[in-house]
């Protein structure tokens, strides 16, 4: 790998280059994942990478500047 290459851990998922995301710890499944902002800019959406449970975090005026959250899978 040359100095110009990104390490694999920083590589973007296809279709998500440059899109804002939230980091999420899925407690019940003991995994981490990302929720990407939808194209409308109204929410961060995604699924648990292990069980596939859907997660949606709305974006609003009274929101938070936090970038990392915890979610509980069913």
- Can you give the pLDDT at residue 66? 86
pTM of the model: 0.72
Q: What is the mean pLDDT of residues 7-11?
A: 42
Tokens describing residue 58:
């709305």
- Can you give the pLDDT at residue 9? 41
Percent of the chain predicted with pLDDT > 90: 59
Q: What is the mean pLDDT of residues 15-33?
A: 89
Cα–Cα dist 15/17, whole Å: 6
Q: What is the pLDDT of residues 45-68, one digit of tens each?
A: 999 999 999 999 999 888 888 899
């Amino acid at each position: 790998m040359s100095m110009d290459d990104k390490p694999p851990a920083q590589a973007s998922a296809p279709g998500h280059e440059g899109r804002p995301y939230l980091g999420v710890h899925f407690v019940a499944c003991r995994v981490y994942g990302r929720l990407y902002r939808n194209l409308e800019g109204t929410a961060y959406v995604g699924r648990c990478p292990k069980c596939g449970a859907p997660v949606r975090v709305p974006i609003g005026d009274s929101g938070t500047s936090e970038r990392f959250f915890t979610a509980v899978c069913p």
